[in-house]
Amino acid sequence: MEARATTKYIRLSPYKTRRVINIVRGKRVDEALAILQYMPHKAAREVARTIKSAAANAEHNFDMEINDLVVKTIFADEGPRLKRYMPRARGRIDSIQKPTTHITVIVDDGEDF
């Protein structure tokens, strides 16, 4: 049985988010949250929030035991970019693109029928 959670439109780069999620992929949920708690990256907080949400979905919707859950699949997709402009010399402008990220977590209890 699987449970999923998605967090969308996070103001982080998907590249920087993937650095964090590659560390917790395949680990137990409690172990992954312990690792993320002490990581200095901004993305670690958002990934931990999404994993907690997936675990809560598993417990509430499917009556799974939280201690048995494993982070089966986790990925970060690119969301829409916020386009901004910065004035430069001689009346010109430079384009600034602020990326957003969608994080998806699927947790599994490992019991397939």
Is 44's pLDDT higher than 80?
A: yes
Q: What is the pLDDT of residues 48-66, one digit of tens each?
A: 999 999 999 999 999 999 9
8-state DSSP, 33: H
71, HSE (Cβ side, Cα atoms, 13 Å): 26
The confidence score (pLDDT) of residue 107 equals 95
* Cβ neighbourhood burial of 20 (10 Å; 0-12, 13-18, 19+): buried
Longest CA–CA span in the chain (Å) reads 68
- Rounded to an integer, the average pLDDT of 12-16 is 96
* Cβ neighbourhood burial of 59 (10 Å; 0-12, 13-18, 19+): middle
Whole-angstrom Cα Rg for the chain: 17
- pLDDT category of residue 1 using cuts at 50, 70 and 90: confident
Is 8's pLDDT higher than 90?
A: yes
Contact 102, 7 (CB under 8 A): yes
Domains of the chain from N-terminus onward: 2-108 (3.90.470.10)
Q: What is the pLDDT of residues 64-80, one digit of tens each?
A: 999 999 999 999 999 99
**pTM for this one?**
0.91
